[in-house]
Structure 1
Amino acid sequence: MIDWLNQTISLSGIITTPLEILGFLTGAICVYLNTRQNVLGWFFGIINAVLYVAVFWQVRLYADVGLQGYYFITSIYGWWLWLYGGKSHDGVVVTSTPVKLYPVFALIFVVVTLSWGFLLGRFTNASLTYADSALTIASLIAQWMMARKYLENWIIWIVADACYTAMYFYKDLHLTAILYFVFLVLAVMGYVQWKRDISAEVQGS
């Protein structure tokens, strides 16, 4: 079974594996459902995280391996928040990110990116250490913001997904690169949809 998942195949000239294909499908479903604020998106996020641990380990993107573990945990957290969070425990609603969090996010991004990039470069054979680390930390922040339903999570995802698309093409993960381009499009859709929801809530209050 494991050997079959890792078997190299070609799809219209794109070299990939069944494992990467499953990651593509579950990832696309996850993000699409998140743009619709459908709690089942977190279920597919859990499956996607498990699949991509194996994919990224094989190409030595160790920061991304760690990121999938975080996705696994925050998917459970987000699932719970979307169902039972908020003051009335009937789920959180879309809001703008509190301004006081921005300097905290900036400090975390700079310090952890530099530290993690140095450690990966010093003690592992990881590839693209600082670029991978920067995108990883940005994704950590965006994922937590999504779980809290902060609108601006989509802005971070738009930037990160554009960079990830280029990086995965460079690493010959062509199907994953296409997936992150799909994520980029979905992130734009998510921002527009969530922004519309905030406007509707303001008008209805």
Structure 2
Amino acid sequence: MSFQDWFKLFQEQILHTSLIEWLAVGFGVAEVLLAKKNSIWLYPTGIISVLLWMFLLLGVKLYAEVLLNVYYLAMSIYGWFIWKKRKLDGENQVSWSGNKELTIAVLISIVGFGVLYLVLRHYTDSDVPLFDAFVSSTAWAGMWLLAKRKIENWIFLNISNIVAIPLLFHKKLPLMACLTTFLFIVAIFGFFEWKKIIDKNRLSIA
């Protein structure tokens, strides 16, 4: 498809976007901006967004993305609890991952990819099992690190985003692709903002 065709498709989708999709986009944007600001309110906002996206993704047969959002829901509840507990305990809110956390994140990505790919390839009618599995498994790792308030969550989430963007265009979902592009950009700023928090905490301790 030419750029003109994509632009026309984008215009058509904007005109025919349902209220549910607009709400999902709005809450998704709010969630990542709150995460960038290191605000615990990212979790209730994210839970609403996740439930809306699950409904929408089922309609376009992105089954791994649906499973990803089920995981997002569980991790949002878990992360909300952990962030609240750490705030009450007075612990530092952001930190770099240790070897253990990074190892777990990589294992989540690799094992998750293998399992999702096999399920999508053999038990669903997905036409993009490889890319769908990759997007979901790397995002799983990113969400786990986000719940732990580890700065590397932004890296894993953007590895997922950079593959998700062309995948969503392929699925003729330009609005979701544009949202994911926005999230990709915000995640870059989020990484550096969290790094400033870490450096500030380190200086205050010193």
TM-score of the alignment, normalized to the shorter chain, above 0.5: yes
Deviation (angstroms), 1:11: 6.9
| Structure 1: gaps spanning 5 or more residues | 1-9
* Residue in 1 that maps onto 2:170: 170
Q: Answer with 29-38 or 154-163: which moved more.
A: 154-163
Q: Matched residues in 2 for 1:111 and 1:11: separation?
A: 35
Q: Matched residues in 1 for 2:153 and 2:107: separation?
A: 17
Q: Which letter does structure 2 place at the counterpart of 1:50?
A: L
Identity over the aligned pairs, expressed in percent? 26
Q: Matched residues in 2 for 1:45 and 1:131: separation?
A: 24
* Residue in 2 that maps onto 1:113: 113
Q: Matched residues in 2 for 1:28 and 1:113: separation?
A: 26
Runs of at least 4 residues off by over 6 Å = none
Give the root-mean-square deviation of aligned CA atoms: 1.8
Q: Which letter does structure 2 place at the counterpart of 1:71?
A: Y
1:73-84 residue pairs with structure 2 within 5 A? 73-84=74-85
Deviation (angstroms), 1:119: 1.5
Contact 2:57 2:63 in 1 (8 A): yes
* Residue in 2 that maps onto 1:132: 132
Contact 2:131 2:163 in 1 (8 A): no
Contact 1:63 1:133 in 2 (8 A): yes
Q: Which letter does structure 2 place at the counterpart of 1:22?
A: L
Contact 1:162 1:184 in 2 (8 A): yes
Deviation (angstroms), 1:124: 1.1
Contact 1:35 1:190 in 2 (8 A): yes
1:91-102 residue pairs with structure 2 within 5 A? 93-102=93-102
Residue 67 (structure 1) aligned with residue 91 (structure 2): no
| Structure 2: gaps spanning 5 or more residues | 1-8
Structure whose residues are more often helix by fraction? 2
Contact 1:118 1:130 in 2 (8 A): no
- TM-score if structure 1 supplies the norm length? 0.88
1:34-49 residue pairs with structure 2 within 5 A? 34-49=35-50
* Residue in 1 that maps onto 2:11: 12
- Give the 3 Å change call, closer, same or farther, for CA 84–51 of structure 1 in structure 2: same
Residue 195 (structure 1) aligned with residue 171 (structure 2): no
* Residue in 1 that maps onto 2:4: none
Q: Matched residues in 2 for 1:147 and 1:104: separation?
A: 13
Specify the SS of the correspondent of 2:98: coil
Deviation (angstroms), 1:91: 5.8
- Give the 3 Å change call, closer, same or farther, for CA 131–11 of structure 1 in structure 2: closer
Q: Which letter does structure 2 place at the counterpart of 1:83?
A: K
Q: Matched residues in 2 for 1:21 and 1:91: separation?
A: 37
Q: Matched residues in 1 for 2:81 and 2:123: separation?
A: 37
Residues matched between the structures, number: 195
